[in-house]
Amino acid sequence: MNNLLVLPLLIPAFTGVILIFLKEYVKLQRIISAISVFVNIAIAIMIVYQVNTYGIQTLYMGGWLPPYGIVFVADMFAALLVLTAAVVGAACLFFSFASIGEERERFYYYTFFHFLLTGVYGSFLTGDLFNLFVCFEVLLVASYAMIVLGGTRVQLRETLKYILVNVISSSLFVAAIAYLYAATGTLNMAHLAVRVAEAGQGGVMNVIAVLLLLVFSLKAGLLLFFWLPDSYSAPPQAVRALFGALLTKVGLYAIIRTFSLIFVHDLGVTHSLIGWMAGATMILGAVGALAYNDLSRIFNYNIVISVGFIAFGISVATQDSLNGVVFYLMHDIVAKALLFFLGGLILAASGTEQLRLMGGLIRRYPWTGWMFFVLALALVGVPPLSGFAGKVMMVRSGFGEQHTALSLIALASSFVVLYSLIKVFQQAFWGGEKNEEEIRPLHYKAMMAPAAVLFVLVILMGIGAEWVNGYVSQAGAVLADPAAYINAVMKE
């Protein structure tokens, strides 16, 4: 029992509620939000420390022991993701201060922001499948509001599609939960793992597993990403950064959790399906990233490619590749947020999203330019930077486990990432200046600060990979051998 685990939910939830009553006091809203995110980082660090020292932490709500009642579990994987999400959430908050505009701030932007974080932390920490659904809904409802906040026609149109896709997929999620409950009689994830192992993962279980995979893939943008590029282009840059960094990762987290803990007895069906989907996602994402010439679409297809890449690591499912998945997931959350921050800076500096209308920004904004260049290298996985370690672990075990074709696709997709981002770098930062009037963005320095913090983090995660790996391999060990997780939750 560890009551600390509920705080990552309670703090943003309470903050969000308090901010509702402070609608007109924008300054106060900012101060309270900032305090809240910093407290959250501190608590996330404490959770990581406790998991590191004392092993997997659990919290039985109301003292009801499993399989009854709701359980919160923090293994190293969940704890690391909560910490990463807290850091990136704080950066997004400070980026919002500079870029979101007072109009949105007065219409409950920060409230939705904190509710979204509530849902994200909840999804990472819960140990119960239905509770996962509830946390998903919390973050989705907040994300609906954040996409549409501002009410332009594009936003209304894209939100309609986004809601429709998510309402249907949530319905299917509940249906899958219903089937699973009928087949096993429990919804506690650790207990489910025990029951599925007892009953054997036969036909019915595989159908349920594939249905769950379908639902989570819709949320994560794995293969079923048709809604993603347009929806994520509609809101302002700060929201895009938050979504690109966190939302798809929650879906991926659900896939990893379900297919490393519960459905692990028939890898030939479930994991090879994930492998196929991962390959198709990387190829289609690459096509999209090459096809478009505007900033938001190129970045959004880069999200898709990285989702495919992480799914590839899941399908290989060795200890080494799961370590890689955890490492790469953490890197990707930070790096994608930074990518969208820099996209926001480019947008503010050039006043357009179309690449052909940009040029020559490097003269006025050398720091932004070189940060973008280094980030592109980090996303590709050039050695001293954060993308390298995770990528190496996944691809190495991919080749080791005879997933040659998939590994080659994964490597090729890295080149597409490199090409598409260097294209942006070249067209936006090099060449002659294209726009006549000089745009002087108002809050450029304030937008730069959170980007710089994440930039330092990307470099530190790369240089300190050995140190990070100490934590990551603990997370990977639990994913590779779920017995530790099950024992921690089901102990009397």
Instruction: Provide the binding-site residues for another protein, judged by CB under 8 A.
Output: 130, 133-134, 137, 141, 144-145, 148, 151, 153-154, 156-161, 163-164, 167-168, 170-172, 174-175, 177-179, 181-182, 187, 230
Looking at beta carbons only, is 59 or 204 nearer to another protein? 204
| Residue 64 C-beta: closest distance to another protein, Å | 12
Q: 59 phi and psi, to 5 degrees? A: -135, 115
Contact between 174 and 133 (Cβ < 8 Å): yes
8-state DSSP, 481? -
CB of 6 to another protein, least distance (A): 18
Q: How far is the CB of 73 from another protein (least distance, A)?
A: 20
What does residue 72 show for φ and ψ, rounded to 5 degrees? -110, 130
Query: Cα–Cα distance between 233 and 163 in angstroms, integer?
Result: 15
Q: How far is the CB of 156 from another protein (least distance, A)?
A: 4
| CB nearer to another protein: pick between 125 and 448 | 125
* Dihedral angle sign, alpha carbons of residues 247, 249, 254, 255: positive
Structure tokens, 205: 């279980």
Q: Which is nearer to another protein, 132 or 479 (CB)?
A: 132
Amino acid at 491: K
Q: Give residues with Cβ within 8 angstroms of 80, minimum separation 6.
A: 48, 326, 330, 471, 472, 475
Taking the complex as a whole, the smallest distance from the CB of residue 147 to another protein amounts, in Å, to 10
Minimum separation from the CB atom of position 115 to another protein (A): 12
Report d(CA 92, CA 191) in Å as an integer: 37
By C-beta, is 178 or 291 nearer to another protein? 178
- Is residue 312 within 8 Å of residue 255, measured between CB atoms? no
Q: Which is nearer to another protein, 136 or 327 (CB)?
A: 136
User: Which residue lies nearer to another protein by CB, 17 or 164?
Assistant: 164
Strand pairing report for 57-60 and 71-74: antiparallel
Number of residues assigned to the chain: 492
CB of 256 vs another protein, minimal distance in Å:
24
Select 130 or 373, whichever has its Cβ closest to another protein. Answer: 130
Q: How far is CA 409 from the centre of its chain?
A: 22
**Half-sphere exposure (Cβ direction) of 193: Cα atoms closer than 13 Å:** 23
Tokens for 143, please give them. 């994300």
For 187, phi then psi, to 5°, come to -130, -5
C-beta of 95 vs 112, nearer to another protein: 112
CB-based contact 342:372 (threshold 8 Å): yes
Dihedral sign (CA 189, 193, 194, 195) = positive
CB of 259 to another protein, least distance (A): 22
The residue among 151 and 268 lying less far from another protein, judged by its C-beta, is 151
Shortest CB 160 distance to another protein, Å: 6
